[in-house]
Structure 1
Amino acid sequence: MAHHRPRARRVRAAGFLRLAAAAACAAVCSVGCGPGATDAAAGSGARPRVAVVPKGATHTFWQSVKRGAEAAGAELGVEVIWEAQLDEGDRAGQIQLVQQLIGRDIDVLCLAPLDAQALARPVADARAKGVEVLIFDSLLEGEPGSDYLAYVGTDNVAAGRLGAEALVEAMGGSGTVVLLRYRVGSASTEDRERGFLEAMAEHPGVTVSVQDRYAGASSASAQSTALAMLPALREADGVFCSQESATAGMLLALRREGLLETTAFVGFDSSPPLVAGLRAGEIDALVVQDPVRMGALSVELAKRHLDGGKVDAINDTGAVVVRAADLDDPRIAALVE
C-alpha cells in the first residue's frame, strides 16, 4: 500500500494565469439579418435573432454562460434565444434541438456541441440553409473559420496542463495520481485530459495509475464511478477531475470515505459546493474558466458577423488556477460566484 503523506495546505498568493484575452465588442446597429440580405430587410428595424444552445441546463457553468449571453444581447439589441436539453448526455436531443432551431428563422446559432463528431452534420446542414454557426466551449470536428464561423472558449489543453501542475504542487512533487475523465465525445474535456496527461508525463516522480474511467453527465454518476474505484483511490496521492459534475461527485465520494485529508485533489470549474470545498481545504485547487465572458463574447461575435465585421477563428476566453487564498480577490470572486 502506498504511503500517504498529510496534505500540505500551503497558502499561496493569488497568481492566476490568463491564457488569452477576448475580442472587443462590435458597435450596436439595427441589422436584423445575415450577410447578403437586402437593404430593405436590413432597415426594417427587426432585432437579429441569435440562438444559444449549451450542452445542458443544470450545471452552474451553463447558467453563467446564459447570464453573459443575455447581458450581451440586451446591450447590443440582439434577441437571444436560449434553448437547452436537461440531460447533458443526450446527443440525439441536442441534434433534434438544433434541427428545430434552424426552422425558427434565426440568424446565428451559437452551439456548445455535446459530441465533436455527432454535431458536425447538423452544423453543416444549418449553414447550408443560411444559418451561420459559432461554436463555443467545446470544439467541433472541422476547422474554425472554415467549417463554422469561429470558436469561443478556453484553450482546454493548456487548462488541463494548469490542473496537472497544481496537483503536482499539492502532492509535493511526486506520487500516484488518479484521473477521472468526463465522457466520451466531449472535445473540451478530452482536450483537458490530454493536456493533463501530457504535463504529468513531464514529471518523472508521478505515476498515473488510473486514466480510463468516465464520470458520466451528472454528479451522481460521478460519485458512483468514484466509489467503484475505491481501491485505486485509497492508494492514490492525488486526484484530478476534468469537469464540474465530475469534480462534485468525486468530492462526495472522497468525503464519504474519509480520504480528503490524505489525498490531494484538483478539480475543474466552480459551483457553490466546489467553492465551499475549496474554502474548507477539501479541494486544493480548481481550474476555473470564464463562462460569463464565454456567453457574452459568443453573442458579441455573432452580432459582429451580422454587421459584416471580421471575426477571428479562435477566441480564447482564458482559465485560472484558484486556491482558497485567492477567493477574496475580487477578480476571482467574479469568476466563481
Structure 2
Amino acid sequence: MPKAESTRYWQSVKQGAVDAGNERGADVVFRGPMLHEDVEKQKAIIAEGMQDRPDAIVIAPAHTTLLAESLNKATKLGTLVLGIDSSMEGVDLTTFISTDNKAAGRDAAEYLLGLTHGKGAVLLLRHADDNGSTLDREQSFAKAMAAKAPNTKLISSGFIGVSIGNAYHSILELLQQHPGITAIFASSEKISIGCVQALRELKPKHEVRVLVFDQTPEIRQALQDKLIDGFMIQQPYRMGYLGVNAACDALEGKRVPKRMVTKVKLITNVGELRPETE
C-alpha cells in the first residue's frame, strides 16, 4: 500500500513489489489513495483488504500514528505488517525498510555548505508535521547546519507540503521576504516542484544554490537549465522489491532483519541517472 498510486515514485515502488512477487510466486495487490496524506482512505483500504485475510501488508503509512489501530487489528488476525518509506509508531512491524533519511539530511547540508562556504542564509523547505521520512531529513539537515556552520542563519518555511501550489506561493513569499538567502534545501517532491516553479518566476538577482529531493521531469529540466544545483534520489523500486521479498521470507519462517536501509544518491548532472533496476 503506497501513500498514493499515481506518482512516478510510487509506480517505481509498485514495479519492485510486482517483480519480487513474480519471483517468489506471491500474489501482489497494489492499492493506495489517489492523493497523498489521505489517512482515511488508507484505513478504508486496509479494512476492505482484510476481508480477504492477506498473509502480509506492506505499507507506506500516510501518518506516523493514525493507522496503528487498523494495522494492529490486522496483526491480531495473523497478517504480517511491514513498513516501507515512512516510519510509524505503535505497530509491531515485521521489518521497516526506508531511505536513510537522517544521512540524506546530513549529506544535503554538507553539500550546500560546500557550495556557499557557510555564507548567507539557508532556507529549509519543510513538508508536513506528520510525515516520518521528511521530518527525519529536515531535522538532520538542521542539526548538521548548526554543527558545521553555527553562524549561518537557518530559515524554516514551516510545513508547506500540502500541495505543489501551496509550496509555490509560500516559497515565492519567503524568497521575497528574505533577499539574503544563498541556499535552499527542499525535503520532498511536492515542495521541490513548487521551488522550481517559484525560482523560474522570480529569477533571483544573486546566486542561490539549490538542492531538492526526488526527481520528476520538471526537476530534471531544472537541473539541465542550471536553475538548481542537484537533486537527491531514493530507491523506490528497491523498497517495493525488498518489502515483498521480506514478507515472503517471514512467511516461510526465515529470519528477517527489523530494519533495512536503502541509500540516497546525489545527482548533479542528468547524465548520471541510470535505471534503478540495474
TM-score by length of 1: 0.78
**Shift of residue 119 of structure 1?**
1.4
Q: 1:264 to 1:199 in 2, by over 3 A?
A: same
- Preserved contact between residue 178 and residue 233 of structure 1 (Cα < 8 Å): no
The answer to whether structure 1 residue 100 and structure 2 residue 48 are counterparts is yes
State how far apart, in whole Å, the 2-side matches of 1:320 and 1:336 are. Answer: 14
Q: 1:273 aligns with which of 189, 208, 218?
A: 218
The answer to whether structure 1 residue 334 and structure 2 residue 275 are counterparts is yes
The answer to whether structure 1 residue 63 and structure 2 residue 15 are counterparts is no
Alignment correspondent of 2:172: 227
1:111-190 aligned at under 5 Å gives the runs: 111-142=59-90, 147-190=92-135
The runs of at least 4 aligned residues of structure 1 exceeding 3 Å deviation read none
Q: 1:259 to 1:117 in 2, by over 3 A?
A: same
**Post-superposition CA distance 1:86-120 (Å, at most 9, x none):** 11021211122222212222110000011111112
**Post-superposition CA distance 1:109-158 (Å, at most 9, x none):** 00001111111221111101111100000011147xxx111101111111
The aligned amino acid for 1:253 is A
Q: Secondary structure at the match of 1:139?
A: coil
Q: 2:154 aligns with which of 183, 208, 224?
A: 208
TM-score by length of 2: 0.93
Q: Highest CA radius of gyration, 1 or 2?
A: 1
- Preserved contact between residue 240 and residue 265 of structure 1 (Cα < 8 Å): yes
Q: How many residues of Structure 1 are paired with residues of Structure 2 in the alignment? A: 277
**Post-superposition CA distance 1:150-173 (Å, at most 9, x none):** 101111111111111122122233
What RMSD in Å do the two structures reach over aligned CA positions? 1.9
**Shift of residue 191 of structure 1?**
0.5
**Shift of residue 272 of structure 1?**
1.7
Gaps of 5+ in 2: none
Worse overlay, 53-62 or 297-306: 53-62
Q: 1:128 to 1:234 in 2, by over 3 A?
A: same
Gaps of 5+ in 1: 1-52
Aligned residues with identical type, % of pairs? 31
Worse overlay, 270-279 or 181-190: 270-279
Alignment correspondent of 2:33: 85
Q: 1:321 to 1:135 in 2, by over 3 A?
A: same
Between 1 and 2, higher relative CO (CA 8 Å, sep ≥ 6) is seen in 1
**Shift of residue 289 of structure 1?**
0.8
Alignment correspondent of 1:7: none
